[in-house]
Structure 1
Amino acid sequence: MNTALHNNLSRYVSFTDDELKVLDALIKPQFIPKRTTMLRSGEKCNFEAYVVKGCVRKYYIDADGNELILQFGVEDHWVGDISFNAYDDQPSRVFIETMEDSEFLMFDPESKEELFARVPKFERAFRILVQRHLASTQNRLFDSVSKNATDKYLEFLRLYPTIPQRVAQHYIASYLGISPEFLSKVRARLAKH
């Protein structure tokens, strides 16, 4: 189970077997059933999770009660609240829910800080992960204001090729910021070509 996580972090920094054993000792495997809310708005996020298997959505509820999906987390992705850290008592503004039975490798703030103290190279790897996440978020923002619905959907399929077979269409529409009916029209047009 930890091999995928080792590979994920070793893309950015090389680790020795002994350093990876420190990681393995501090990270906790956890199974969470489908439709479980892992985090609610107003709660403090006390985890950061690597998705071994499953599908998760992170979403926000706006003032009108609409769910706006911010992120999907599938295999080999990380999920949590970006404000997650050991020093900040700010409550989360997001919800995180499993959409399938899911397996995770999870950190709490204390174990993550211990990992950084014992093997400082992990701090560099996680810094790079955060930078990549911020770049991805920025690109998504650019796409949302500059691309039409068809181009947004095609980009979504490039980023999340397995999601259309795993979640209901209205979740994808929420992620794209369009109505489910309009997404149906986009998909029908693409199917004709």
Structure 2
Amino acid sequence: MNTELILKNVSKHITLNDAERQFFLSMLESRFIKRKELHLKEGEVCKHSTFIVSGALKGFTIDKQGIEHVINFAIKDWWIGDMYSLISQQPGILNIEALADSEVLMLSRENQHLLYEKVPKFERFFRIIVENSLVASQQRLINNLSLTAEERYLEFMKKYSSILEYAPLHTIASYLGITPEFLSKIRGRMARKPA
């Protein structure tokens, strides 16, 4: 199990001693997810917070017309899960799928609560993770309401430039709330602009 990256991720917000580090690592489950494999399916109860060691995942819903709507991405050194389902333990609305062969570390809800009990500073860590997620969701909502499609694409490129190696254009277009054809036009216009 490759744990160096997750320990660096945790150390951005809290400091662990050796015993706390070992206890945390003992709570994790390693999993390999093949490209296009579902990690979580709509209707299932989300039982884990998932940390991406390598690869990339996407969270999405499918509407009644069968159209996919990409809600979020998770790349190396990011966390993903269906937050509503994880917290409420109700059937979720998100599908989570690997965009590439991915190695992940999973922390079960039970183990997360055990961590809170045994190493209380993890409450701070996960509070910061949830706050950052809330800020990102709010910013995305504001961007969708106030920016043009081209401006949203530029913002996407700043935040997720590495996702281009994993996600096809139709997936990026879905995230931006535009058609793949319109995204192609935007990219073409940008390529023709003088540097």
TM range (shorter): over 0.9
The residue matched to 1:107 in structure 2 has which SS?
strand
| Whole-angstrom distance in 2 between the partners of 1:84 and 1:114 | 19
Checking the alignment, whether the CA contact within 8 Å between 2:63 and 2:69 is kept in structure 1 is yes
Partner of 2:52: 51
The residue matched to 1:160 in structure 2 has which SS?
helix
Checking the alignment, whether the CA contact within 8 Å between 2:46 and 2:89 is kept in structure 1 is no
| Whole-angstrom distance in 2 between the partners of 1:111 and 1:165 | 33
1:69-110 deviation per Cα after TM superposition (whole angstroms, max 9, x unaligned)? 001111011011112446x33110110011111101101111
The CA deviation at 1:162 is: 1.2
TM-score, normalised with respect to structure 2: 0.95
1:30-59 deviation per Cα after TM superposition (whole angstroms, max 9, x unaligned)? 111111111111111111110000111100
Distance 1:17 1:84, change over 3 A: farther
The CA deviation at 1:10 is: 1.4
Matched, 1:158 2:163: no
Partner of 1:3: 4
Aligned ranges 1:1-193 → 2 under 5 Å: 1-85=2-86, 88-193=88-193
The residue matched to 2:135 in structure 1 has which SS?
helix
| Whole-angstrom distance in 2 between the partners of 1:153 and 1:8 | 27
| Whole-angstrom distance in 2 between the partners of 1:83 and 1:119 | 24
| Whole-angstrom distance in 1 between the partners of 2:152 and 2:82 | 24
Q: In percent, how many aligned pairs have the same letter?
A: 37
Give structure 1 regions of 4+ aligned residues with deviation exceeding 3 angstroms: none
Checking the alignment, whether the CA contact within 8 Å between 1:55 and 1:75 is kept in structure 2 is yes
Unaligned runs of 5+ in 2: none
The CA deviation at 1:169 is: 0.5
Give the number of equivalent residue pairs: 192
The CA deviation at 1:165 is: 2.4
| Whole-angstrom distance in 2 between the partners of 1:189 and 1:83 | 39
| Whole-angstrom distance in 1 between the partners of 2:110 and 2:167 | 34
Checking the alignment, whether the CA contact within 8 Å between 2:54 and 2:76 is kept in structure 1 is yes
Letter paired with 1:60 = T
| Whole-angstrom distance in 2 between the partners of 1:162 and 1:131 | 23
The residue matched to 1:31 in structure 2 has which SS?
strand
The CA deviation at 1:160 is: 0.6
TM-score, normalised with respect to structure 1: 0.96
Q: CA RMSD in A?
A: 1.2
